[in-house]
Amino acid sequence: MAGDAMTRAGGAGAPARPRGRAEAGLSIVVPLFNEANNLATLHARVLEVARTLKAQRGLATEAVYVDDGSRDATLAAARELPAESLDIQVISLSRNFGKEAALLAGLDHSRLGAVLFMDGDGQHPPALVEKLVGYWLDDGYDVVYTAKAHRASEPWLRRLGVKTFYALINWGARQKIPEDAGDFRLLSPRAAAALKQLPERNRFFKGLASWIGFRQIRVDYEPAERIHGRTTWNLYSLIGLSIEGLTSFSVAPLRLASLLGLLLAAAAFIFGVQILLETFVFGESVPGYPSVIVGLMVLGGVQLIMIGIMGEYIGKILSELKARPVYFVAEHTLKTAENADAIGGPPARSAAE
Ligand code: UDP
Ligand code: MG
């Protein structure tokens, strides 16, 4: 299955014939949450890229727009998009499931070999797509991921948070998750097939795309400003995603518990020896009350934190065990470049079948 090139009848016109890897085609997956104002601009750019790719490399493309339960007119806008020179799939989820679920829905529905993930807010410059495609087609890379060139514009507290997060998640990991890598990423057919095979429901795409291996390459870029609107991430949801990523990817927090336990035990041992010495050798009576209270509070605090961390993992086990589908599809339409007519939607599909 991996590596199989899915061939497809070409679109309109008679541009360059697909050669070698290009035969597989490229699905561009775009998650959308309240992006009605950005969609037209974005789609115009995607169309342009699709035309260029078709003309220069004979690469067929489709756009997979995943409406992640938007509360504005995103779905209506997506339905109206013109399918010129590329096919358009519009998948509407039954509610807001979050970006990672939307990405999975797009991946599941992608019909062509290679898959490109791109944000719907215009921050991922479509012009860069040609470069990413070049690394795949010309140099044979499987995972072409992008990273913010620098984070100088971000507050230092956030940068520190990011640093700590990656230090923790990569602690002792065989396959390191690259720091700063974003969700703007191209997967070759075999890498996309590998990603589709992963059974877990708690998805952390950055981590998974790195974990699958194959030939990976990093491309630095400067994210553009959003076309309209504001980011949907706030401090709280970022912390949520970090905990999600950490607990689904590494046992570092659990190891931290063992390490802390060890440190505390060592400290207690040294303290105990000191008390023994003071009492028996120097004959001093050791005042106990404050040290007992401090010791109790340290122990109690550390234990509570660690119970919380264990709880995170148990919660994760529970949600994997329940095996609920990651998302439900409310509506699915496909417009092909040749005949722009819509079809009814297939039933919802769970992540692992
Ligand atoms: N998004 C989504 N579901 C959500 C939140 C966001 O599909 O619940 C999409 C959003 O429409 C955008 C992308 O994920 O295309 C990135 O979102 P955003 O720009 O808010 O994040 P940032 O660029 O700040 O990381
Ligand atoms: Mg954004």
Q: How many residues does the chain have?
A: 353
pTM of the predicted protein model: 0.73
User: DSSP H helical segments within the chain, as ranges?
Assistant: 36-57, 74-79, 99-109, 127-137, 156-169, 189-197, 205-211, 235-249, 252-276, 289-322
Is the beta carbon of 123 within 6 A of some atom in ligand 1? Answer: yes
DSSP-derived pairing of the beta strands 181-187 and 329-335: unpaired
Bridge partners, 91 (sequence order): 66, 332
pLDDT averaged over consecutive 10-residue blocks of the chain (353 residues)? 40 57 88 89 89 87 92 88 86 91 92 90 84 90 85 76 81 77 89 87 78 86 72 76 78 79 82 82 75 79 82 82 87 76 43 37
Radius of gyration of the chain (CA): 25
Instruction: Name which residue sits closest to atom 5 of ligand 1, judged by CA.
Output: 99
Is the beta carbon of 244 within 6 A of some atom in ligand 1? Answer: no
Instruction: Name which residue sits closest to atom 19 of ligand 1, judged by CA.
Output: 231
Predicted pLDDT of residue 295? 79
What number does the ligand 1 atom closest to the CA of 98 have? 8
Residues 23 and 212 sit within 8 Å (Cβ to Cβ): no
CA 258 to chain centre: 29
Q: Which of 41, 99, 116 to mutate to test the pocket of ligand 1 (most atoms within 8 A of CB)?
A: 99
Predicted pLDDT of residue 32? 93
Is the beta carbon of 207 within 6 A of some atom in ligand 1? Answer: no
* Cα separations in angstroms, 69 against 34, 287, 316: 8, 63, 24
Other residues' Cβ atoms within 10 Å of the Cβ of residue 226 = 16
- Kindly give the distance from the C-alpha atom of residue 240 to the centroid of ligand 1, in angstroms, as a whole number: 14
Is the beta carbon of 56 within 6 A of some atom in ligand 1? Answer: no
